[in-house]
Amino acid sequence: MSLIGTAAQPLRVAIIGAGPAGFYAAERLFKETELVIEVDMFDRLPTPFGLVRNGVAPDHQKIKSVTAAFDRIANNPRFRFFGNVELGRDLSLDDFKANYHQILFSTGAQTDRPLGIPGDELIGSHPATEFVAWYNGHPDFRDCQFDLTQERVAVIGVGNVAIDVARILCRTQEELMKTDIADYALEALSKSQVKEVYILGRRGPAQAAFTAPEAKELGEMADCDTLVPPAEAELDPLSLASMASADRADVRKVEIIQELSHRQPTGKAKRLTLRFLVSPTELIGDEAGHVKQMKLVHNELYATDAGSLRSRSTDRTETLDVGLVFRSIGYRGVPLPGVPFNDSWGVIPNDAGRVIDMQTKEPVCGLYTAGWIKRGPTGVIGTNKPDAAETVESMLEDARNGDLLAPAHATSESAAAFVLERQPELVTYADWKQLDAMELNKGKEQGRPRVKFTRIEDMLAALRE
Amino acid sequence: MKVRNILATKKGQLATIGPDEPVRRAIAMLAASRIGALLVTDEAGALVGILSERDIVRSAASDENLFDRPVGEIMTREVIVGMPQDDVIAVAHTMLERRFRHLPIMDEGKLIGIISIGDVLKTQRDAYRGEVDTLETMIIAEGEE
Ligand SMILES: Cc1cc2nc3c(=O)[nH]c(=O)nc-3n(C[C@H](O)[C@H](O)[C@H](O)COP(=O)(O)OP(=O)(O)OC[C@H]3O[C@@H](n4cnc5c(N)ncnc54)[C@H](O)[C@@H]3O)c2cc1C
Ligand SMILES: NC(=O)c1ccc[n+]([C@@H]2O[C@H](COP(=O)([O-])OP(=O)(O)OC[C@H]3O[C@@H](n4cnc5c(N)ncnc54)[C@H](OP(=O)(O)O)[C@@H]3O)[C@@H](O)[C@H]2O)c1
């Protein structure tokens, strides 16, 4: 039995990444009654909440309200937030090891999966991850440029992120005004010339990754007709057979898609077309290197050995005129300096949340992981709760067994002093609550839910005042 | 959800055995690593069969001297193989329908892992729980405002 986890020597935990996984992990740690635990949570941004702030679509304000539940966790006196502190920039893994008994990585999936077709790199071809971060006001992406003078846009992939991107492109100014979309994005989108948006799925409606409520919402926009080519909405015999064992939500999703396929354009300003069984094979550029067209091949489905339906190309092709392309085929985790990484899946290799060495498969003492960087970029906010709970179980078991790091400095004061020395402009939770109040106030003045700070300098300057 | 999402959560250790090894060794391996099946591979690493607990029980019922027999004699030869891109929901259906509990996964001709019906059902359960936990978090949040 170790003596760590007592009032005299609390168990000191660093959580790196202040998204849902990090908060759920902190919550679960604080539920532990036998051990005294102190949590310091770090984020490279001055603002907490990860993708809830920078990913979740601005027109989905209701879901963004989950942050109030995270506030409650942050109110615990044994919780501290060190924003604007990045692992790899301000602190190294060894720095963390010198100050904490356990370190949890919940850094999410910071980049996109590449598509790898010719023309991918043309001007006007972007990963959806960048557009999402841009319209949400992520400081690293606020200066991205998207050519919204283009009338025709393609979004590749049919996950919920593709739906978000298409919806934001098709919303009216009035609809966007009611959101906390970044100021500059609101302005840029108000001048948008976009009239025609295509969402391109390589398989059929029954295999679309988006969920039913998101599909339904597409058909309910103020000034956008949402259509599906009837031939592409129809299910092939294999998909039809698979529906027999599909769950209700998937059946509902197909019904919604088929309902959309019966609609006719009603003369709204924009048109969104959901397409199925097509794969982009090449982007074609003009003389200046801007995307002007996309080559598509039509697909058919076949069953794999294990019964999954996959697409393969037929000899039917077509060319689509588009001046702007968003690739929305999934996110991807990035390696953290000094931390094992499984490059095949883009995750930190782990066993029930314990980080394991790639070669020996043995746990690395004191290191843990949760959320998208642990299991890959799938699942909704709540999925991170049982995921983080699993990791915390492993952490508590190790703590009880004394399998901990041996930090040279293990007090909250020494850690704070150390971090402050490395990053004098760190942002505390109290600082964040001030920024939050300012954002909400500014929103109130403009009749919007919130007006975000989108520059780190602006946040730091506002806090100095 | 894809099979690769399941593989990402696993340690990635492949429990393999040669077809000429005795069943005794296979049983010891199954017990030691607390798993339900071994992949049977030849010297070149190619998959030649799968040996599950069920194969062992079935053979043991008719042969008490099973322990010294080579794995190759009692393994299942016709192995259904999955790929990282397979949809979990379709795989679940196939495993339940065709009554097998372990699915070796190959990528570009290379054996890269194995998933069990337990993994598949856990993934589906986690997806449902995620929806519920999101709602629960929203309700807690409403209480805070
Ligand atoms: C576009 C989009 C929309 C979504 N919409 C919804 C939705 O409507 N509803 C829903 O339920 N779910 C939605 N999701 C899913 C949900 O956002 C995720 O399940 C969840 O955010 C993942 O949590 P996480 O904590 O693992 O990662 P993240 O939320 O990504 O948090 C990771 C945090 O780590 C920080 N970080 C990264 N690297 C470092 C470092 N080196 N040092 C310090 N900090 C670091 C990041 O700044 C970030 O704050 C959406 C996802 C996306 C991408
Ligand atoms: N409102 C919400 O609740 C919400 C909003 C946003 C995100 N999220 C969640 O966040 C997670 C991530 O979402 P996501 O949309 O990034 O990922 P996703 O759900 O995994 O969808 C990825 C999409 O890209 C397609 N794709 C992949 N590779 C492709 C290729 N080479 N060519 C063409 N298409 C390709 C996939 O098709 P195949 O299936 O054929 O591979 C799939 O349609 C999901 O779990 C999602 O539910 C939720």
We report the CATH number of the domain holding residue B98 as: 3.10.580.10
CA of B15 to the centre of ligand 1 (A): 34
Sign (positive/negative) of CA torsion A370, A373, A374, A379? positive
pTM of the model: 0.96
Residue A360 tokens, joined: 């020996």
What pLDDT is recorded for position B64? 86
- Residues belonging to chain A with any Cβ–Cβ distance to chain B shorter than 8 Å: 62-63, 65-69, 71-72, 207, 242, 245-247, 250, 304-310, 342, 344-347, 349-351, 356, 361, 374-376, 378-387
Residue A408 tokens, joined: 């040279």
Cα A7–A9–A11 angle (5° rounding)? 95
Look at B5 and A380 and tell me if their CB atoms are within 8 Å: no
Q: Single out the residue of A197, A232, A228, A215 nearest to residue A325, CA to CA.
A: A197
Cα B129 to Cα A84, A412, B91: the distances in Å are: 32, 35, 20
pLDDT tens for each residue of chain A, 465 residues long: 458 999 999 999 999 999 999 999 999 999 999 999 999 999 999 999 999 999 999 999 999 999 999 999 999 999 999 999 999 999 999 999 999 999 999 999 999 998 999 999 999 999 999 999 999 999 999 999 999 999 999 999 999 999 999 999 999 999 999 999 999 999 999 999 999 999 999 999 999 999 999 999 999 999 999 999 999 999 999 999 999 888 899 999 999 999 999 999 999 999 999 999 999 999 999 999 999 999 999 999 999 999 999 999 999 999 999 999 999 999 999 999 999 999 999 999 999 999 999 999 999 999 999 999 999 999 999 999 999 999 999 999 999 999 999 999 889 999 999 999 999 999 999 999 999 999 999 999 999 999 999 999 999 999 998
CATH 3.30.2010.10 fits A11-110+333-427, yes or no: no
The residue with tokens 């019964």 is: A307
Beta strands at B110-116 and B102-107: parallel, antiparallel or unpaired? antiparallel
Q: Single out the residue of A176, A185, A140 nearest to residue A47, CA to CA.
A: A140
Question: What CATH number has the domain spanning A113-330?
Answer: 3.50.50.60
Burial status of residue A187 (CB atoms within 10 A of its CB: 0-12, 13-18, 19 or more): exposed
The residue with tokens 């919940």 is: A106
A345 CB neighbours in chain B (<8 A) are 4, 7-8
B4 CB neighbours in chain A (<8 A) are 345, 376
Find out whether B141 and A65 touch, Cβ atoms under 8 Å: yes
Domain ranges of chain A: 11-110+333-427, 113-330
Q: In what order do the strands lie in the sheet with A278-285?
A: A278-285, A291-303, A309-321
Nearest-neighbour CA in chain A from B33: distance (Å) = 13
Q: What is the DSSP letter of A121?
A: T
Q: How far apart are the first and last CA of chain A?
A: 49
What pLDDT is recorded for position A314? 98
What pLDDT is recorded for position A2? 55
Interface check for B73 against chain A (CB to CB < 8 A): the answer is no
User: For A234-344, where are the alpha helices, taking DSSP H only?
Assistant: 237-243, 248-261
User: Other C-beta atoms within 10 Å of A149: how many?
Assistant: 11
Over B67-116, what HEC string results?
HHCEHHHHCECCCCCECCCCEHHHHHHHHHHHCCCEEEEEECCEEEEEEE
d(CA A135, CA A326): 14
d(CA A157, CA A136): 20
The residue with tokens 């975000």 is: A452
d(CA A170, CA A222): 9
What amino acid is encoded at A382 in this protein? G
Question: B103 is in which domain, residue-wise?
Answer: 3-143
Find out whether A428 and A459 touch, Cβ atoms under 8 Å: no
What pLDDT is recorded for position A1? 46
Pocket test for ligand 1, best of A40, A42, A51 (most atoms within 8 A of CB): A51
Q: What is the DSSP letter of B12?
A: -
Nearest-neighbour CA in chain A from B100: distance (Å) = 11
Strand partners for A42: A16, A82
Residue range B9-47, pLDDT digits in tens? 988 788 999 999 999 999 999 999 889 999 999 999 899
Find out whether A347 and A333 touch, Cβ atoms under 8 Å: yes
Beta strands at A324-327 and A125-127: parallel, antiparallel or unpaired? parallel
- A377 CB less than 6 Å from ligand 1? no
Instruction: Kindly provide the residue ranges of all beta strands, DSSP E only, lying in A144-290, ordered along the sequence.
Output: 152-156, 196-200, 224-227, 270-275, 278-285
Residue A27 tokens, joined: 């919550």
Q: Single out the residue of B27, B37, B100, B33 nearest to residue B60, CA to CA.
A: B27
Domain count, chain B: 1
Sign (positive/negative) of CA torsion B122, B36, B3, A393? positive
Percent of chain B with pLDDT over 90: 84
CA of A8 to the centre of ligand 1 (A): 35
Report the Cα A298 to chain-centroid distance in Å.
30
Q: What is the DSSP letter of A242?
A: H
Q: Single out the residue of A29, A4, A96, A31 nearest to residue A401, CA to CA.
A: A4
Q: Could you give the ipTM of this predicted complex? A: 0.91
